[in-house]
Amino acid sequence: MAERTAASRPAPTRGSTPRPALVRRLGALPGAPTLAVLISVLCILGLVMVGSASPVISLITYDSPWTIFFRQVLWMVVGIGALLVFARIDYRAWRKWSVPLVGVTVVLLLAVLVPGLGVTAGGSSRWIGFGMLRLQPSELMKLAMVVFAADIVIKRSDRDAPAKQIIAPVMGVLVLSAALIIKQPDMGTAMVLSCIAFGILFMSGVSLAPLTKVLVVFALVAVVFALGDSYRRDRILSFVNPGAHQAGSGYQVWQSLIGLGSGHLFGLGLGGGREKWGTLPNAHTDFIFSVVGEELGLIGAVFVLVLFFALAWYGYRTAVRAPDRFGCLVAVGITTWVTSQAIINIGAVIGVLPVTGIPLPFISFGGSSLVITLAAMGILMNIAMQEHSGRRARAPRRRLVRA
């Protein structure tokens, strides 16, 4: 049999470029099962690292080195249950709940600020409830923002509404919720909400001119607000030069960098970290990535980054292959949520972004954050499970909105 020569191979289509083998292999993997594997690995890694990072603070706080770990296991079970339930609910059903979900969440954000109703910890009033049964409404607002923004874009674009009428309601909800969240104070969650809103608007096809103007104004207001408070201003100055503020506002970042540097290539071994022994504040929550780098080394830290990169890859791939525009924008919103939160957290830990106090998704200790994030992953998986039928029946997409 004659060999197939280069001349006999079909020529590539005009404008196309050959994709690398790794990209082709990643694209061939099924979306929902791959997402399930990535989420499972991140959750297992999170349990291991919380168990390693929390014994000292757990012993000091609860007189037992395992209390925080067992609480994380409990929240993980609840979160996986939420993921399984949400994965079985058709994602389209969330459209009718978009406005009520935002309304309820705004009321909860107001309740958090009421003395006697909101639970204060570490100088912030972010929770409502009692004992272990606490809800952090700002985490629920992330899911509400995804569903509301995606729904309003589809509704108004179907009526050929101008871009301003699409941007205005999304920005209204963002400004109101961000103001209430910053009041707690929680700058990090407000930043994640902004990423979600602007990410969905950008990917919806809205005209860039008005969106850019809103983004510039929003950024200027954020800068003025950040510099207008002495506490937030000190955080920013310590980010610029943590070494010069290592005894004050830059102490946490400086200790984080020491921990990361101590890990070298292979780390000090699981459980062998020294910074968690009272030197690094919030080692099991906001700064758990520093513990990962110290105990698992550069290899472990890079492995975590690869996991989040892969999760972003398959999340946005799910958006591209979604059966309809609503599924596409919801997938964009959820993926942007998790990706931006991971970037902001890791950026703060390694000293390239200001410290904002948000957890690393799936890995940091936390109840509301873990459960609601896993529930959102269930919605993303539901979209991914329908991507094949969507590709067969989907009509060519048009531009969603007009200028």
Give the residue extent of every domain in the chain.
38-390
- The pLDDT score that the predictor gives to residue 289 is 95
Residue ranges of the chain whose pLDDT lies below 70? 1-30, 121-125, 130-132, 226-249, 388-403
pLDDT in the model for residue 29: 64
**What's residue 99's pLDDT?**
94
Is the separation of the CB atoms in 269 and 48 below 8 Å?
Answer: no
Q: How far apart are CA 121 and CA 126, in angstroms?
A: 8
Sheet holding 124-130, edge to edge: 118-121, 124-130, 133-135
Position 254 scores a pLDDT of 84
The amino acid at 83:
L
What are the helix (H) ranges across 89-185?
Answer: 98-112, 137-158, 163-182
* 181/384 Cα distance (integer angstroms): 31
- Model-level pTM? 0.87
Name residue, tokens 């890079």.
Answer: 302
Which class for 270: exposed (0-12), middle (13-18), buried (19 or more C-beta within 10 A)? middle
Q: What local confidence, expressed as pLDDT, does residue 311 receive? A: 96
Q: State the Cα–Cα distance between residues 288 and 243, nearest whole angstrom.
A: 21
**In contact, 289 and 304? CB cutoff 8 Å:** yes
- Predicted local confidence at residue 205, as pLDDT: 85
CA distance 353 to 349: 8
What pLDDT was estimated at residue 171? 94
